[in-house]
């Protein structure tokens, strides 16, 4: 080895020893005849002392030989493990020189992200950036340990697989040996893990690379990593218990947070009704309240018409302790307009009663009824959305989160998990004019709803056995109890408009497997990138991925995607239009 020790391990116990270190020059400080160098590797930093200034600079990769000495009294650095010692340099060998830097390595997070990604190899030298990847590594080990303890087997499923488009676009890979035919990169190992259940493996997991050719979004990646798992012979409670134990172990070891289990559960309908979203942030409450009954009898036309219209509603939310000025109320109204509201009616709680420009349209006893319904106290602001139910829920759900951000209601370093269950099985796609799966077409329906509403054609009323795990207002995992009946699976395919030919072409292998004794099964998939990001209190998933793409799905470092040679296209029987 070119070193006897790393740069993070020398202590007072090593004083007097001759050692060899290797790493990168972090800083150089010339004190007139004595030069101090901080040598850095991924383990830490060690101070070097040399009488001469050599032909080297920051980020040169060097090897140093010397003797470990105690630092002079008053110069110790007790913030780092090596801060009580230094190396009296005998010799320095330059292993590799460095060109002038595009940015200072240890301050890379302060520079432009595009520049960071272009020189990602320099960015990754920054200990602050490395910290996220070390934490990710530890989380992987916790996942593997915990699942192994519960009898799960880790199985790798194919990366080159069959295109079964239903949802996001596939990334396609042309086959040279089968001209005109294509593989797809997996959006999920979904069908393979179900087939593993048919195969009798009982409990499977995988840290899987997945790919989706999605339209550009701020914090999405075309390739991402998910924790994929599946269990046979289960009810929802069985899966929830395993996942809660995994989450508890991760947060205890990485950020050092003690989670309380079991996690609270609420239905999709409860989440939408109370919080205006299916991924509510429950670190704070601020519930939405339906006042349609009160609004129908008032003289405020906007409220009365919305509350009386079919599918309409008047909803409100009490922003506790808002203490908003008129300008702040105007700013909040503009925010609500950005979420689709035409305006934002409100009452301010002052002097034990509600005051507002719209108060004249309400009887005094009605105003008091509203105050009591929201439990409004002096300083609170009650705001309303009057529209179609789902739109009003969306508007107030966004206002709720916006207000929480303004007031700092979600304390950093706290984690609140919840299960959201009973999602709709189908949603109607207005553009295509057909019913589509809300989750995916392999999700089992609620049997009671299926028997009751399927024949009546009321598909929108059928609940599924799907569930999401929500952390601090972000959906980090999604899963369901699957369909294990060939006949029911075929019926679901037909209901979402697939022809017999399409069913056979896309999913024939799955239905074929279902002929041979398929056990009841279900599973879940976690977005590991998002989980690590939230656990570490970071803002972007790109911070926890070694070599991420930018917001245009481009790698600035390698410049992928890029054109390929005409010869390669010819071998693949592909011509660019």
Contact 159, 171 (CB under 8 A): no
Number of residues assigned to the chain: 577
**pLDDT at res. 358:** 93
Contacts of 105 (CB under 8 A, 6+ apart): 24, 26, 58, 59, 122, 123, 125, 126
| Averaged pLDDT for residues 163-170 | 77
List Cβ neighbours of 338 (8 Å cut-off, separation of 6 or more).
none
Q: 276 in a domain, yes or no? A: no
In this structure, is residue 83 part of a structural domain? yes
Cα–Cα dist 396/271, whole Å? 13
Which range is least confidently modeled, 36-45, 235-244, 423-432?
423-432
Helices (H) and strands (E) in the chain, counts: 16, 22
Q: What is the CATH number of the domain that holds 380?
A: 3.30.1360.30
User: How many independent structural domains does the chain possess?
Assistant: 2
pLDDT at 369: 94
Mean pLDDT (whole number) for 441-445:
96
Predicted confidence at residue 53, as pLDDT, reads: 76
The CATH number linked to 64 is 2.40.50.140
Cα–Cα distance between 492 and 390 in angstroms, integer?
Answer: 26
Query: Distance between CA atoms of 142 and 147, rounded to whole angstroms?
Result: 8
Distances (CA, A) of 29 to 7, 56, 57, 101, 106: 18, 12, 11, 18, 16
Exposed e or buried b for every residue in 542-552, given b needs 16+ CB within 10 A? Answer: bbbbeebbbee
Domain boundary among 77, 96, 115: 96
Residue 531 in any domain: the answer is no
Q: Which of 363, 384, 409 is the last residue of a domain?
A: 409
Mean pLDDT, rounded, for 58-79: 96
Pick from 317-331, 384-398, 427-441, 522-536: least confident: 427-441
Which of 96, 118, 135 corresponds to the end of one domain?
96
**Is the residue at 73 inside a domain?**
yes
Query: Would you say residue 364 lies in a domain?
Result: yes
Q: Rounded distance, CA 110 to CA 103, Å?
A: 9
Dihedral over alpha carbons 136, 137, 138, 140 (to 10 degrees): 90
| pTM of structure | 0.91
HSE (CB half, 13 Å, CA atoms) of 428?
A: 8
Q: What is the average per-residue pLDDT within 31-46?
A: 94
User: 3-class DSSP state for residue 292?
Assistant: helix
Residue 56 falls inside a structural domain = yes
Mean pLDDT of the chain: 95
Task: Domain of residue 33: give its range.
Answer: 12-96
Confidence at residue 165, expressed as pLDDT on a 0 to 100 scale: 65
For 445-482, how does the pLDDT look when each residue is reduced to its tens digit (9 = 90+)?
999 999 999 999 999 999 999 999 999 999 999 999 99
Residue reference for tokens 């972007």: 540
Q: Please check whether residue 214 is in contact with residue 168, taking contact to mean a CB–CB distance below 8 angstroms.
A: yes
* 152 CB-near residues (< 8 Å, 6+ apart): 203, 204, 205, 229
What secondary structure does DSSP assign to 521-557, as a single string?
A: EEEEEEEHHHHHHHHTT-S-GGGGSSS---TTS-BTT
DSSP run (H or E) holding 191: helix 190-198
The three-class DSSP label of residue 27 is strand
Evaluate the CA torsion angle 323, 329, 332, 333 in order and state its sign: positive
Residue 443 lies in a domain: no
Whether the Cβ atoms of residue 209 and residue 225 lie closer than 8 Å to each other: yes
| Residue keyed to tokens 């929201």 | 374
Dihedrals phi, psi of 129, to nearest 5 degrees: -75, -40
Give the relative orientation of helices 236-253 and 528-535 as an angle to the nearest 10 degrees: 50
- The verdict on residue 518 lying in a domain is no
In the chain, what are the helix, strand and coil shares in percent, each to the nearest 5? 35, 25, 40
State pLDDT tens for residues 183-200: 999 999 999 999 999 999
* Sign of the torsion angle spanned by Cα atoms 256, 258, 263, 269: negative
Residue range 232-253: mean pLDDT, rounded: 97
Confidence of residue 167 (pLDDT cuts 50, 70, 90): low
CB–CB of 444/482 below 8 Å? yes
* 182 burial level (CB within 10 Å; 0-12, 13-18, 19+): middle
* Residues 184/162, Cβ–Cβ less than 8 Å: yes
Give pLDDT, residue 166: 60
Alpha carbon 57 to its chain centroid, in Å, reads: 40
DSSP assignment string, 88-157: EEEEEEEEE--PPPSS-GGGGGGS-HHHHHHTHHHHTTSHHHHHHHHHHHHHHHHHHHHHHHTT-EE---
Per-residue pLDDT for 494 more than 90?
Answer: yes
């Amino acid at each position: 080895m070119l070193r006897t020790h790393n740069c993070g391990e020398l202590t007072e116990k090593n004083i007097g020893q001759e050692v060899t270190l290797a790493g990168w020059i972090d800083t150089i400080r010339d004190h007139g005849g004595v030069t101090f160098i901080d040598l850095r590797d991924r383990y830490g930093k060690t101070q070097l002392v040399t009488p001469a200034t050599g032909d080297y600079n920051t980020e040169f990769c060097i090897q140093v030989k010397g003797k470990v000495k105690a630092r002079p009294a008053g110069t110790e650095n007790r913030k780092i493990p090596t801060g009580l010692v230094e190396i009296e340099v005998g010799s320095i060998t330059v292993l590799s020189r460095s060109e002038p830097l595009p940015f200072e390595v240890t301050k890379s997070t302060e520079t432009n992200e595009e520049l960071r990604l272009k020189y990602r190899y320099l960015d990754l030298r920054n200990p602050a950036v490395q910290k996220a990847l070390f934490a990710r590594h530890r989380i992987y080990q916790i996942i593997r340990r915990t699942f192994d303890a519960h009898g799960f087997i880790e199985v790798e499923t194919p990366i080159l697989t069959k295109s079964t488009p239903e949802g996001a676009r596939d990334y396609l890979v042309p086959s040279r040996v089968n001209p005109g035919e294509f593989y797809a990169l997996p959006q999920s190992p979904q069908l393979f893990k179900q087939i593993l259940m048919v195969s009798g493996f009982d409990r499977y997991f995988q840290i899987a690379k997945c790919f989706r050719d999605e339209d550009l979004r701020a914090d999405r990646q075309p390739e991402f990593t998910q924790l994929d798992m599946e269990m046979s012979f289960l009810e929802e409670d069985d899966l929830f218990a395993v996942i809660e134990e995994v989450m508890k172990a991760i947060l205890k070891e990485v950020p050092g947070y003690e989670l309380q289990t079991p996690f609270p559960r609420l239905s999709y309908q409860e989440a939408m009704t109370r919080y205006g979203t299916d991924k509510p942030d429950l670190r704070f409450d601020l519930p939405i309240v339906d006042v349609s009954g009160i609004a129908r009898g008032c003289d405020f036309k906007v409220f009365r018409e919305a509350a009386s219209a079919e599918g309409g509603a008047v909803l409100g939310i009490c922003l506790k302790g808002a203490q908003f000025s008129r300008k702040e109320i105007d700013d909040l109204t503009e925010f609500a307009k950005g979420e689709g509201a035409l305006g934002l009616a409100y009452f301010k709680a002052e002097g034990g009663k509600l005051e507002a420009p719209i108060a004249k349209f309400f009887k005094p006893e009605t105003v008091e009824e509203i105050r009591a319904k929201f439990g409004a106290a002096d300083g609170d602001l009650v705001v309303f959305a009057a529209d179609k139910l789902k739109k009003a829920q969306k508007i107030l759900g966004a206002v709720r989160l916006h207000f929480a951000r303004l007031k700092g209601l979600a304390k950093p370093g706290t984690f609140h998990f919840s299960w959201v269950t009973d999602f709709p099985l189908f949603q109607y796609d207005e553009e295509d004019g057909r019913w589509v799966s809300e989750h995916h077409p392999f999700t089992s329906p609620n049997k009671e709803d299926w028997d009751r509403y399927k024949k009546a054609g009321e598909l929108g009323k059928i609940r599924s056995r799907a569930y999401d795990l929500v952390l601090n207002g972000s959906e980090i995992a999604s899963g369901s109890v699957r369909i294990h009946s060939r006949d029911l699976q075929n019926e679901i395919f037909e209901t979402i408009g697939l022809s017999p030919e399409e069913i056979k072409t896309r999913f024939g292998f799955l239905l074929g497997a279902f002929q041979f004794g398929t056990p009841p099964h279900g599973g879940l998939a976690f977005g590991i990138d998002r989980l690590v990001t939230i656990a570490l209190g970071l803002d972007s998933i790109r911070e926890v991925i070694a070599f991420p793409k930018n917001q245009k799905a481009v790698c600035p470092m390698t410049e992928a995607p890029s054109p390929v040679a005409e010869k390669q296209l010819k071998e693949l029987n592909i011509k660019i239009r």
